[in-house]
């Protein structure tokens, strides 16, 4: 931070802001005067005109003025001060639940007053509760504002008036110091205002130009211009990270043809053309001295794990260690079993590390990593703890990477610094990412797509069934299990509560146990201890369980080829991509597989359309694009849940149309306006820019 830059001055340099207020502002991410300038309103109030009391209606937010006709204190129920005012066109009551003796005196009959608040139905006609009010010296006193009044996001202990004064000060003192880093040609091309015009307009818009409602809409050029600049800055930050990564040294991997052939021949299956293509891309990346940063997208069951195993082979052949990180113990254990089988004929020690491994076992495991005797470690977030050190970490594989926090991924990457190198990184996801979102979230990564399923995989037959046919579905499970096959029954999220979700799964398991007494039924959910959960999953895999009742905890990483029937209850509660992930737990064997979507009637038109898409398609990329159309980018990217990308102004659901032009503009700035790149990133991402370094 440049303390000589007036925009970087602390908010405490402004009048009326002491240490306490500065601390409260920091909770909003506001530390500097520039932060204040870019803290924009989330809505507006119209105090530019006075409404006649006789014309106002419930639900309106209005500025009125009139004479106090009556003041009374009501003691019944909740104590309140009632003040009736009139303006010749009508009357309205003002109600205060918190009031002082001074207010009681101040609001005596005959006093002229202006008020601003929402109009509501009251016991005795219309009323305003705790309005903003001002005592007027005479009935002619002017009370209107010249512009719409901004309403800013707040935190506890901060008032609108204090924030408005602070922002006004910052604008008066420092707005002139803001540099507009977007080229004039770009502003003309998109018909955008200058930065200063946009900022001024959004903090103090004229009601003649826009209403309080239309200001927040998509076609407001001032808001659109700033949203574009913010999205551009996020994209640039990832591109800069990519350029910086290319300057780091990574170990070049090479492999002899005999080892390569030996590994591929030892696999119990033939690689698909798509897998071979992606392996060639990884091999080319890893042969260089710059770190690989590659994202492998592949639909459920497309064979991403064996591709990562081949990348691990490259590292081992060059004498380096490999870390494979998965989001759940279940998935980590599955990877451990697969890697152990695939590397059975190779002289390499593969170890397993999760938070559950304690005591001497943990100590021995850590020692094998530190002294280099373990070639591959597979585990969960336990891998990036400080106590875990590697002798020569050359490759990091991160599965379902969106499940991890940014700092967790960075901590694992930094483990390679011990050997003075930056490890290659391979990131995998079974959640297909639409192109526009990949551009915004993964522009620091090269992207490979495995767009072919292994031979012999049959499409899953999906049916949409109302819950009224539940008994029919339960009977179907009985017939299914009689054929020595297994099934899943998935209980989906209820009211965003894991506790309620688990409770629903428990009740469902009890009910199914009663009506299907001859079937071996077990339960797995997110609140179980990891060891208990893994034991149930292992029993299911070993066919000691016929029907597994589960929450969405099984969305990732369960591979039981004999389980070819899945019932998903209340599928209308989930996004399409998540439903597709769940459905991908079946269809892993050579026999026909089925997914029954057991919905609650009545279905909305949108829900019916969504479930129809899933019924008609098994293509994860088609489903992801449809999911994007229906739910919007904010939901699909998970930004609302993970907080991975925090935007001050941009809204992915509203600003999708801005994304298409960003890569070409970013390219132009990186080549022709390099001095603009870092200031733009700093303006919008501040000290958080390193979040991109995955």
pLDDT tens readout for residues 534-548: 788 889 989 999 999
* Predicted pLDDT of residue 575: 81
Which residue is it, tokens 């009370």?
143
Q: Where are the beta strands (DSSP E) in 442-503?
A: 446-450, 461-466, 486-491
Residues of the chain with CATH 3.40.50.300: 257-450, 461-617
In this structure, are residues 113 and 138 in contact, taking their beta carbons and an 8 Å threshold?
Answer: no
Mean pLDDT of 434-445: 71
Going by CATH, does the domain composed of 257-450 fall within 3.40.50.300?
yes
Question: Is pLDDT at 410 greater than 70 in this prediction?
Answer: no
- Convert 209-227 to b/e letters by CB count within 10 Å (16 or more is b): ebebeebbeeebebbbbbb
In this structure, are residues 104 and 81 in contact, taking their beta carbons and an 8 Å threshold?
Answer: yes
Q: What are phi and psi of 407, to 5 degrees?
A: -65, -30
* Predicted pLDDT of residue 309: 96
CA distance 396 to 394: 7
Question: Is pLDDT at 259 greater than 90 in this prediction?
Answer: yes
The rounded mean pLDDT for the chain is 85
Burial of 404 (0-12, 13-18, 19+ CB in 10 A): buried
Q: What are phi and psi of 580, to 5 degrees?
A: -65, -40
CA distance 147 to 151: 13
The residue that leads in pLDDT, 615 or 452, is 615
Question: Is pLDDT at 472 greater than 90 in this prediction?
Answer: yes
* Predicted pLDDT of residue 693: 42
The residue that leads in pLDDT, 493 or 67, is 67
* Predicted pLDDT of residue 418: 59
* pTM for this entry: 0.71
Q: Place 591 in a pLDDT band, splitting at 50, 70 and 90.
A: confident
**Antiparallel, parallel or unpaired: β 461-466 and 594-599:** parallel
In this structure, are residues 174 and 33 in contact, taking their beta carbons and an 8 Å threshold?
Answer: yes
Three-state DSSP state, 656: helix
In this structure, are residues 393 and 419 in contact, taking their beta carbons and an 8 Å threshold?
Answer: yes
Q: What are phi and psi of 150, to 5 degrees?
A: -75, 145
For the chain, helix, strand, coil in percent to 5 are 45, 20, 35
H helix or E strand, kind and range, residue 63? strand 61-74
Per CATH, the architecture of 461-617 is what? Answer: 3-Layer(aba) Sandwich (3.40)
The residue that leads in pLDDT, 600 or 407, is 600
Name the least confident of 91-95, 400-404, 574-578: 400-404
* Predicted pLDDT of residue 548: 94
Which residue is it, tokens 């930094």?
414
* Predicted pLDDT of residue 28: 87
Question: What's the pLDDT tens digit per position in 653-680?
Answer: 778 788 888 989 999 999 999 999 999 9
Alpha-carbon Rg for the chain in angstroms? 31
CA distance 7 to 178: 8
Nearest to 565 by CA among 519, 620, 502, 625: 519
Residue 390 CB coordination number (10 Å)? 23
* Predicted pLDDT of residue 640: 38
Report the sign of the C-alpha dihedral through residues 495, 500, 505, 510, in that order.
negative
In this structure, are residues 375 and 348 in contact, taking their beta carbons and an 8 Å threshold?
Answer: yes
Q: What are phi and psi of 227, to 5 degrees?
A: -65, -40
Give, in degrees to the nearest 5, the angle at Cα 465 between 461 and 468. Answer: 155
Question: What's the pLDDT tens digit per position in 213-246?
Answer: 666 665 788 999 999 999 999 889 888 877 887 7
In this structure, are residues 575 and 492 in contact, taking their beta carbons and an 8 Å threshold?
Answer: no
Question: Is pLDDT at 469 greater than 90 in this prediction?
Answer: yes
CA distance 194 to 135: 40
Give, in degrees to the nearest 5, the angle at Cα 58 between 53 and 62. Answer: 50
The HSE-up count of residue 375 (CA atoms within 13 Å, CB side) is 20
User: Cα(first)–Cα(last) distance of the chain, in Å?
Assistant: 23
Q: Place 123 in a pLDDT band, splitting at 50, 70 and 90.
A: confident
Q: What is the DSSP secondary structure assignment for residue 32, as one 8-state letter?
A: B
Question: Is pLDDT at 405 greater than 60 in this prediction?
Answer: no
* Predicted pLDDT of residue 462: 95
Question: What's the pLDDT tens digit per position in 614-629?
Answer: 999 888 878 877 777 7
Residue 522 CB coordination number (10 Å)? 18
CA distance 492 to 489: 10
Concatenating the DSSP letter of every residue in 422-457 gives: --EEEEEESS---HHHHHHH-TTSEEEEE--PPTTP
Q: At what angle do helices 470-482 and 498-515 cross, to 10 degrees?
A: 70
**Structural class in CATH, domain 49-144:** mainly beta
User: What is the percent of the chain with per-residue pLDDT over 90, rounded to a whole number?
Assistant: 45
CA distance 305 to 311: 10
Length of the chain: 694
Question: What's the pLDDT tens digit per position in 51-82?
Answer: 999 999 998 899 999 999 999 888 777 788 99
H helix or E strand, kind and range, residue 477? helix 470-482
In this structure, are residues 383 and 357 in contact, taking their beta carbons and an 8 Å threshold?
Answer: no
Residues of the chain with CATH 2.40.50.140: 49-144
Strand partners, 424: 395
In this structure, are residues 570 and 492 in contact, taking their beta carbons and an 8 Å threshold?
Answer: yes
């Amino acid at each position: 931070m440049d303390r000589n830059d007036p925009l970087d001055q602390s908010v405490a340099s402004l009048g009326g802001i002491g240490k306490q207020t500065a601390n409260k502002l920091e909770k909003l991410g506001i530390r500097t005067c520039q932060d204040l300038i870019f803290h924009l309103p989330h809505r507006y109030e119209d105090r530019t005109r006075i409404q006649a009391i006789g014309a106002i209606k419930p639900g309106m937010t209005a500025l009125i003025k009139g004479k106090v006709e009556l003041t009374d204190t009501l003691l019944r129920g909740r104590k309140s001060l009632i003040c009736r005012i009139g303006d010749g066109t009508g009357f309205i009551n003002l109600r205060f639940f918190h009031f002082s003796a001074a207010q009681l005196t101040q609001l005596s009959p005959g006093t002229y007053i202006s008020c601003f608040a929402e109009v509501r139905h009251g016991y005795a006609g219309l009323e305003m509760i705790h309005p903003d009010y001002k005592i007027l010296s005479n009935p002619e006193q002017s009370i209107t504002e010249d512009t719409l009044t901004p309403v800013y996001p707040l935190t506890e202990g901060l008032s609108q008036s204090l924030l408005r004064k602070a922002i006004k000060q910052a604008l008066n003192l420092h707005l002139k110091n803001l540099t507009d880093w977007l080229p004039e040609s770009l502003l003309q091309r998109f018909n955008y205002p200058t930065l200063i015009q946009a900022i001024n307009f959004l903090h103090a818009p004229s009601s003649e130009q826009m209403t309080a409602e239309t200001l927040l809409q998509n076609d407001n050029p001032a808001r659109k211009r700033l949203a574009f600049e913010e999205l551009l800055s996020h994209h640039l930050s990832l591109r800069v990270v990519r350029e910086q990564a290319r300057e780091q040294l990574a170990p070049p991997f090479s492999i002899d043809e005999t080892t390569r052939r030996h590994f591929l021949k030892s696999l119990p299956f033939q690689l698909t053309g798509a897998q071979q293509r992606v392996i060639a891309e990884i091999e080319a990346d890893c042969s260089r001295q710059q770190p690989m940063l590659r994202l492998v997208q592949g639909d459920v069951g497309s064979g991403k794990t064996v591709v990562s195993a081949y990348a691990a082979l490259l590292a081992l052949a060059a004498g380096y260690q490999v870390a494979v990180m998965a989001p759940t113990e279940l998935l980590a254990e599955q990877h451990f079993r697969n890697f152990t089988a695939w590397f059975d004929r190779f002289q390499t020690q593969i170890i397993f590390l999760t938070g559950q491994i304690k005591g001497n076992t943990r100590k021995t495991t850590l020692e094998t990593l530190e002294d280099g005797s373990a070639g591959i470690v597979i585990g969960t977030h336990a891998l990036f703890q400080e106590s875990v050190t590697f002798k020569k970490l050359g490759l990091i594989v991160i599965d379902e990477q969106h499940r991890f926090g940014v700092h967790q991924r960075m901590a694992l990457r930094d483990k390679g610094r011990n050997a003075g190198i930056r490890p290659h990184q391979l990131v995998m996801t079974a959640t297909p990412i639409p192109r526009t979102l990949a551009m915004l979230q993964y522009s620091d990564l090269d992207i490979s797509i495995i767009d072919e399923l292994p031979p012999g995989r049959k499409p899953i037959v999906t049916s949409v069934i109302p819950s009224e046919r539940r008994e029919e579905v339960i009977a179907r499970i009985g017939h299914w299990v009689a054929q020595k096959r297994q099934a899943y029954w998935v209980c989906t999220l209820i009211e965003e509560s894991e506790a309620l979700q688990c409770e629903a799964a428990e009740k469902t398991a009890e009910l199914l146990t009663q009506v299907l007494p001859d079937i071996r039924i077990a339960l797995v959910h997110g609140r179980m201890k990891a060891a208990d959960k893994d034991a149930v999953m292992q029993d299911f895999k070993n066919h000691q369980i016929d029907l597994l009742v589960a929450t969405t905890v099984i969305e990732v990483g369960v591979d039981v080829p004999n389980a070819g029937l899945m019932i998903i209850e209340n599928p209308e509660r989930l996004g399409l991509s998540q439903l597709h992930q769940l459905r991908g737990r079946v269809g892993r064997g050579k026999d026909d597989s089925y997914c029954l979507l057991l919905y609650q009637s009545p279905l909305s038109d949108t829900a019916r359309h969504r479930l129809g898409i899933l019924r008609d398609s098994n293509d994860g990329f088609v489903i992801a694009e449809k999911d994007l159309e229906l739910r919007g980018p904010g939901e699909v990217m998970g930004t609302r849940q993970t907080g991975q990308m925090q935007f001050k102004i941009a809204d992915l659901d509203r600003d999708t149309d801005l994304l298409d032009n960003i890569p070409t503009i970013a390219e132009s700035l990186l080549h022709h306006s390099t001095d603009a790149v870092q200031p733009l990133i700093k303006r919008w991402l501040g000290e958080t820019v390193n979040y991109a370094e995955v």
